[in-house]
């Protein structure tokens, strides 16, 4: 699959509020991740809906899953997320010069010089 198509699939998988909330939560629990019940309690998402979202994220390799007895533990796949951010920065910001390659703005408004 062409890189651009792969990244489009990743953006699509992240294209719902619920999935973004899941990724944010799993990043906050990195590297340990969380079991499904913890995610469900924290985000108040019905189990069947949560399962659907987690499967979509897993299918696109945005999360990893491992079995712990009768539990499934999910974690954010930081390698995939890092590659996605690298693509976005390199292709959309640096190449087009829309954003200076020397400055990155954090979500809280602080700037970071690179």
Single pTM value for the model: 0.80
Task: Identify which has the larger pLDDT, 101 or 5.
Answer: 5
Backbone region of residue 97 per phi and psi (left: phi > 0; alpha: psi in -120 to 50; beta: other values):
left
pLDDT digits (tens, 9 = 90+) for 32-69: 999 999 999 999 999 999 999 999 999 999 999 999 99
- What domains, with CATH codes, occur in the chain? 3-113 (1.10.10.10)
Q: Phi, psi (5° rounding) for residue 79?
A: -65, -45
3-state SS, residue 102:
coil
Q: Which helix (H) or strand (E) holds 104?
A: strand 103-105
Residue 97: per-residue pLDDT: 64
Comparing CA positions, the residue from 25, 29, 28 lying closest to residue 17 is 25
Contact 85, 66 (CB under 8 A): no
């Amino acid at each position: 699959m062409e890189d651009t198509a792969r990244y489009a699939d990743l953006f699509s998988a992240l294209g719902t509020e619920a999935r973004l909330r899941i990724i944010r939560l799993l990043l906050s629990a990195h590297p340990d991740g969380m079991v499904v019940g913890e995610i469900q309690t924290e985000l108040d998402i019905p189990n069947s809906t949560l399962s659907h979202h987690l499967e979509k994220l897993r299918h696109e390799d945005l999360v990893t899953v491992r079995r712990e007895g009768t539990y499934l533990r999910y974690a954010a796949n930081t390698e995939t997320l890092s590659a996605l951010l690298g693509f976005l920065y390199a292709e959309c910001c640096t190449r087009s010069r829309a954003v200076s390659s020397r400055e990155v703005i954090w979500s809280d408004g602080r700037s970071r010089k690179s």
